[in-house]
Amino acid sequence: MLGSLVYNRHCMKEKGVFSSLRFELDDAITYGTPKDSFRIARQGLREAQATGRAGEVEYFKGQIKMLQNKFASALEHFDAAIRYNPRDGASYNDRALCLVELGLIDEAFDYFDQGIKVEPDYATIYHNKGWLLNNIGRHTEAIRYFKKALKLQPHRPVTYDNLADALFNLGDFQGAKKSYQKVLELLKPRQCCDIRRQIINKLKELETK
């Protein structure tokens, strides 16, 4: 019994390490540089290999292939990650993103939905499904997914940015303005100067609406 308890604590510690690395990688891809993203993905791969975590090995290999724009190869690694852990919503999410890059939109929606089913509390997958809906003109549906993502992760500026874009596309300029202002509020000081400038320009544009 004592051995089982120690083993479970070890597994929880490892899971925490990889959850943290996944979060850092997501943050780097969204707000950082390709160099930062590659560094974190390779760190995750090394740690997964060192600890024998086969599912995490495949996940970080898939991330590296995505960063290299090798989306068909990335699919193979995310498929393997899902076989090791069928409840890994992030692998379904990133598989869906690869399918988007390959032009397979209907299949991408299927994997977003599968990911939501197996990990319904994973905010990123709602965000990304909303992003895809918004990009193909289904703005009202997109807003529902952005709001679901924000309910789960309320301090994520990129989701407010996408929500603002969807509201703008629907002509809700006041709603868009509030969401863009929320982006500026949530961005860390000195974070994403280019994005900050873009948001300020969008707010100036909305003043004329």
Give residue-wise pLDDT tens across range 134-166. 999 999 999 999 999 999 999 999 999 999 999
Residues 6+ apart with CB under 8 A from 131: 142, 162
Picking from 170, 137, 166, 131, the residue whose alpha carbon sits closest to that of residue 149 is: 131
Same domain, 77 and 126: no
Same domain, 91 and 159: no
Query: Does residue 6 register a pLDDT over 70?
Result: no
Structural domain tally of the chain? 2
What's 129's domain CATH number? Answer: 1.25.40.10
Q: Which stretches within 52-172 are classed as H helix?
A: 54-67, 71-84, 89-101, 105-118, 123-135, 139-152, 157-169
pLDDT of residue 16: 63
Mean pLDDT for the chain overall: 89
Element (H, E) at 198: helix 193-206
Query: Does residue 13 register a pLDDT over 90?
Result: no
Domain's final residue, options 113, 140, 168? 113
Same domain, 127 and 95: no
Same domain, 45 and 108: yes
Same domain, 44 and 134: no
Same domain, 131 and 61: no
Domain's final residue, options 80, 113, 146? 113
Same domain, 20 and 65: yes
CB atoms within 10 A of CB 151: 10
- Tell me how far CA of residue 146 lies from CA of 28, 62, 127, 154, in angstroms: 20, 25, 5, 10
pLDDT of residue 191: 61
Q: Which of the four pLDDT bands, split at 50, 70 and 90, describes residue 10? A: very low
Residue-number span of the structural domain to which 177 is assigned: 122-209
Taking only the tens place, the pLDDT of each residue in 63-111 is 999 999 999 999 999 999 999 999 999 999 999 999 999 999 999 999 9
Same domain, 100 and 190: no
Same domain, 105 and 164: no
Tell me what percent of the residues of the chain surpass a pLDDT of 90.
Answer: 75
The owner of tokens 């991408």 is: 108
- Report the residue count for the chain: 209
How far out from the chain centre does Cα 6 lie?
32
Who wins on pLDDT, 188 or 119? Answer: 119
Domain's final residue, options 88, 113, 138? 113
- Tell me how far CA of residue 87 lies from CA of 7, 115, 117, 118, 128, in angstroms: 21, 8, 9, 5, 18
Same domain, 134 and 88: no
Same domain, 186 and 95: no
Same domain, 5 and 107: yes
